[in-house]
Structure 1
Amino acid sequence: MRTTVGIIGAGPAGLLLARLLDGAGIDSVVLESRDRAYVEQRQRAGVLEQGTVDVLRAAGAGERMDREGLPHDGIELRFAGRRHRVDFPALTGGRSVMVYAQTEVCKDLIALRLRDGGPLLFDAEALAVEDAATDSPRVRFRHEGAEDVLECDYVAGCDGFWGVARKAIPAGLTRVFERAYPFGWLGILADVAPSHDELVYARHDRGFALLSMRSPSVSRLYLQVPEGTDVAAWSDDEIWSELDRRLETDDGFTLRRGAVTQKSVTPMRSYVHEPMRHGRLFLAGDAAHIVPPTGAKGLNLAIGDVVTLARALAHRKETGSAELLDAYSATCLRRVWQAERFSYDMTTMLHRIPGATPFEDRLQLARLERIAGSRAAETDLAEGYTGLPFG
C-alpha cells in the first residue's frame, strides 16, 4: 500500500489531519487499531478553544457542532464560598469556547472521511514505524489477521501516549520532561441537566471540584481524589454529597442530582517529549505531550499540532520548500509549553496539595483573589483558556 502521508491513529488529531490534507490535495491513509464503534464511543475531553472551533468550521466539520454544541462565554471560579465569573469575550476581543465532546468530533470527521472515500482502516494495528530518517518511511501494521506495509513520504504519529510512533525516535536524540501529581480526578456522567450554565472550577479545603456538562441534559462532574483511588470505593451518594460540599457558596447554590451512568478515575500528569519530529516522522497530540485536564488543553493542543503539520505539508507541495516542515517541532513546542504552563498554573492553584502548609493554602487563595481583583490577571487566564493562535 502506498500513500503520501501515513497517519497512525483515528482520534480527532489524525482524522482532522486527513481532512486538512484532502483540502490541500494531499493523499493519506489513516490506520486505527480499534474498531469504529470504540472510537465513536470513548469519552474524552469536551471543551474546544476558539481556534479549534474555527478550524473545524473551515474544514467543513462544524455543522453539527454549531447545532448541538454549547457555546460558552466564560467560566466561574469558586473559592472561600465566593463566586467569580471570568468573561472571555470582554477580556479577549470576542474569543470564547465551545462545549462539544471529543467523541462527537470524531463521529463528524469519520463520517466526512467515509463519505469522501478517503482510506480509513479500522482494526489496523500499527506495529512499527521503520526508516523514519530516510526519504521512504514505512508503517508496518496488522489488518484482518495479516501483516501489511504502508509505504509513504511522511508519517504522522497521532497514536497517543502508548502508540508506536514515538518509539521510532532514537532515545539518544530525545529529552523527556514530566511531572506526576499525587491526586487524580474521579469523574461521573449523570443524566441530569447541568446545575450551572457555564463550567465551574471550585477550590475547596476538601479538594478541587469541577462542574461541567456534555449536553443540556447530561452533566459531567469531577472530584479531586488521592492518587490510586479505586472508583468502586465511592458510592453514588458519597460522590454527590462531596460535590455538594465542594461546590457550596455563600449564596446557597443547589446542585442537581441524577442517575450516574459512568464513573472513572483519571490520573494527572504533565509530559513533553522533545523533539516532535525525527526525519519524516512527526508526532502530534498525546504521542508528544500530555497536560493535566484542569486547563482543557489536551485535545486543543493536538488540533494545533496537525494544523501546523498540514500547513507545512501544503507549503512543501506548493513551493518545494521544507522550511515549515523543518520548523515543525519548534513551532509546536512553543505553543505546547505555554499550554503546559497554563495547565500547571490552573492545577496548582485549584487543587488541595497533599501536605500543603497553611502558608501554601493562603497563597492559593491569594492567586484566586488576584484574578478576581485584577483585569490584567483575569485577562491572562481568559487568553490561556480560550487558546493561543495556532502556528
Structure 2
Amino acid sequence: MRTQVVIVGAGPAGLLLAHLLRLEGVHAVVLETRHREHVLGRIRAGVLEPGTVEVLREAGLGTRLDRVGLEHQGFSLRFDGTEHRIALSGLTGKPITVYGQQEVVRDLLDAAEPEPCFGVSDVALHDVTTDRPSVTFTDTDGVRRTLHCDVIAGCDGFHGVSRNVVPATRFERTFPHSWLGILAKSAPAHDELVYAHHERGFALHSMRSPELTRLYLQVEPGERLEDWPDERIWDELATRLGAPCEPGPVVEKGITAMRAHVAEPMRHGRLFLAGDAAHIVPPTGAKGLNLAVADVRLLSRALTALLLHGEEGDALSYSDIRLRGAWRAERFSTEMTELLHRSADPFEQRLSLARLRRIASSAAAATALAQDYVGISEDA
C-alpha cells in the first residue's frame, strides 16, 4: 500500500488537510482510531475567524456555513455590573462567524474522497527522517497493514502518537481553574457572545444555532459534575451573567481543565505536526480551531510544492512560521484568560478589573482586543 501523504487523525485539521491536498492533485490517506460517529459527535469550538471562513469558502466548503452560520459583528464584556460591547466590525472591518467545529467536520466528511479509515488501532510511525517513511496500523478486520508514503502529517491531537515521535522542546502551563460547559436546547438569551467577569467567577454565553445555547462557568480544578445539577448551573449563570438564561434540556455537560502547550519544532524529517498535536491554547480566546486551520492551510501549500514540484522551501520554513502564529495565539488566549477569570490573589483580581475598565474607556485598547479576536496581527 502506498500513498503520497498519510494523515494521522480525522479531526478538522486532518480532514481539511486531506481536502486541500486533493484539490491540488496530491493523494492522501487519513487514519483515525475513533469511529465515524464519535468524530462527528465531538462538541468543540464554535467561533471562526474571517481568515478561517475564507479558507473554507475557497475550498468549496462554504455552502452550509453561509446558510446556517451566525455572523456576529461584535461581542460583549460584562463587569462591574455593566456591559461594554466590542464592535468587531466597527473596529476592524471584520466580523466573526459562529459555526460549531462538529459542523465543519460534517462538511469535510461529506466532501471526503476517499473516506477516512476509521476504527484503526496500533498506529505506529516509521523512518520519518528518511525519504521513505511509513505508517503501520491494524485495520477493523484485525489485519496488520503498512502504508508507504512520502510525507506523514500528525493531526491526531495531544493524546495521539505523532507528537511523541518528534524530539521536541515542550512548553506547558496549567491554569488554576477549569470550565464547566453545557449545551442546551434553548434559545440564546443574547444575540452575540457575552464574556462576564464576576466576583463568583467567569461565565460565557455563546450559541451554536438559534435553538442551541453553549454556556460556560469557571469552576475549581477537581470539581465533579455530580456537584453541579442543572438547576444550580442555571442559577449560577444568571448570577454571573447578570441576566437569566432561558433554561432548556441539557444535551451535553462536561468539565474541561485549562492548559496551554506548544511543541517546538513542528517538523521532524518527513513528519509534520498540525493542530492540537503541536499546540493547545486555553479556550478563552477561541483560537484552537482557527490555529489548526492556519496550520494546514500553510502545510497544504508546502506539501504541494514539495511533492509536485520538488520545491523544499515552504516545507523547511513551515515550523518556524507556524510557531510564530502559535505563540501569538497563546499570548492572546492567556491574556484573555487572566483578564476574565476570578483570581484567588486580590491584587491580580484588581488588575483584571483595571484592564477591563481601560478596554471600556480606550478606543485604542478596544481596537487591539478586537484585532486579536478576529485574527489580525501586526506581525502576522
TM-score tier by shorter-chain length is over 0.9
State the shift of 1:360 in Å: 2.0
Q: Mapping of 1:78-93 within 5 angstroms?
A: 78-92=78-92
CA distance, structure 1, for counterparts of residue 121 and residue 364 of structure 2 = 48
Alignment gaps of 5+ in structure 2 = none
Instruction: Give the corresponding residue for 1:123.
Output: 119
Q: What SS does the corresponding residue of 1:312 show, helix, strand or coil?
A: helix
SS at match of 1:246: helix
Contact 2:109 2:115 in 1 (8 A): no
Cα deviation per residue 1:178-225 (whole Å; 9 max; x = unaligned)? 100111000111111000010000000100000001110111100000
Aligned pair 1:233/2:208, yes or no?
no
**Residue equivalent to 2:332:** 342
Give the number of aligned pairs. Answer: 378
CA distance in structure 2 between the aligned counterparts of 1:376 and 1:88, rounded to whole angstroms: 13
Mapped pair 1:369 → 2:368: no
Partner of 1:18: 18
Q: Secondary structure at the match of 1:327?
A: helix
Q: Report the counterpart of residue 266 of structure 2 in structure 1.
A: 276
Report the equivalent of 1:218: 212
User: Deviation digits for residues 140-186 of structure 1, max 9, x if unmatched?
Assistant: 1111212111111000000000000111123xxx2111100111000
Tell me which residue corresponds to 1:138: 134
Tell me, in whole angstroms, the C-alpha distance in 2 between the residues paired with 1:6 and 1:66: 31
Report the CA distance between 1:254 and its aligned residue: 3.6
Q: Which amino acid aligns with 2:370?
A: A
State the SS of the aligned residue for 2:314.
helix
Aligned equivalent of 1:152: 149
Per the alignment, residue 192 of structure 2 pairs with 198
Residue 322 (str. 1) matches residue 318 (str. 2) = no
Q: Partner letter of residue 252 of structure 2?
A: Q
TM-score normalised by L of structure 1: 0.94
TM-superposed CA distance for 1:267, in Å, is 0.6
Instruction: Name the amino acid aligned to 1:193.
Output: A
**CA apart distance, 1:318:** 5.1
Equivalence map 1:253-272=2 (5 Å): 253-272=243-262
Per-residue deviation, 1:317: 4.0
Task: Give % identity.
Answer: 55
**Equivalence for 1:356:** 345
Partner of 2:39: 39
Q: Which residue of structure 1 aligns with residue 66 of structure 2?
A: 66
* CA distance in structure 2 between the partners assigned to 1:6 and 1:119 by the alignment: 13
Name the Cα RMSD after superposition.
Answer: 1.4
Match of 1:29 in 2: 29
TM-score, length-scaled by structure 2: 0.97
**Offset of residue 126 of structure 1:** 5.3
Instruction: Find 1:385's aligned residue among 362, 367, 373.
Output: 373
Q: Does the Cα contact within 8 Å between 1:28 and 1:119 map onto a contact in 2? A: no
Q: Secondary structure at the match of 1:40?
A: helix
Q: Are 1:308 and 2:308 counterparts?
A: no
- Superposition deviation, residue 383 in structure 1: 1.1
The amino acid of 1:14's aligned partner reads G
**Is contact 2:237–2:244 with CA below 8 Å preserved after alignment?**
no
Secondary structure in 1 matching 2:41: coil
Quote how far apart the aligned CAs of 1:119 are. 4.8
Question: 1:386: Cα distance to partner?
Answer: 0.9
Alpha-carbon distance between aligned partners in 1 of 2:288 and 2:217, rounded to the nearest angstrom: 19
Aligned-partner residue type, residue 221 of structure 1: L
Question: For residues 244 and 222 of structure 2, what CA distance do their matches in structure 1 show?
Answer: 30
**Using the alignment, how far apart are the partners of 2:264 and 2:292 within structure 1?**
15
SS at match of 1:201: strand
Q: Distance in 2 between matches of 1:147 and 1:365?
A: 58
Aligned partners of 1:26, 1:261: CA distance in 2, in Å? 40
Deviation at 1:315, TM superposition (A): 2.2
The answer (yes or no) to whether the contact 1:194–1:213 under 8 Å persists in 2 is yes
Counterpart contact for 1:128–1:168, Cα < 8 Å: no
